């Protein structure tokens, strides 16, 4: 299964990628379980791609 995802911030598209999940890993999963597997795959990708840094510059 191939899943195309796009990462945008403030209306600007910054990154586009296709993720894959091997069909044999999906096996006999229900539609709900497949959806959860897709969400996990996307969250993992986002965790690798997105960094947020901050610091207090004035109190």
| pLDDT tens sequence across 4-30 | 999 999 999 999 999 999 999 888 899
pLDDT at 39: 96
Tell me which residue has tokens 């999940």. Answer: 21
Answer whether residue 50 shows pLDDT above 90.
Answer: yes
Would 35 be classed as within a structural domain? yes
pLDDT at 48: 93
Mean confidence (pLDDT) of the chain: 94
Would 59 be classed as within a structural domain? no
Calculate ∠ Cα 10-18-5, nearest 5°.
30
Q: How many domains does the chain contain in total?
A: 1
Would 27 be classed as within a structural domain? yes
pLDDT at 25: 87
Would 24 be classed as within a structural domain? yes
Band (pLDDT 50/70/90 cuts) for residue 59 is confident
Would 14 be classed as within a structural domain? yes
Residue range(s) defining the domain that contains residue 15: 2-49
Would 31 be classed as within a structural domain? yes
């Amino acid at each position: 299964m191939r899943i195309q995802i796009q990462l945008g911030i403030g209306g600007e598209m910054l990154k586009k990628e296709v993720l894959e999940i091997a069909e044999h890993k999906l096996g006999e999963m229900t539609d709900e379980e497949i959806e959860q597997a897709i969400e996990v795959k996307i969250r993992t990708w986002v965790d690798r791609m997105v960094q947020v840094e901050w610091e207090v510059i004035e109190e």
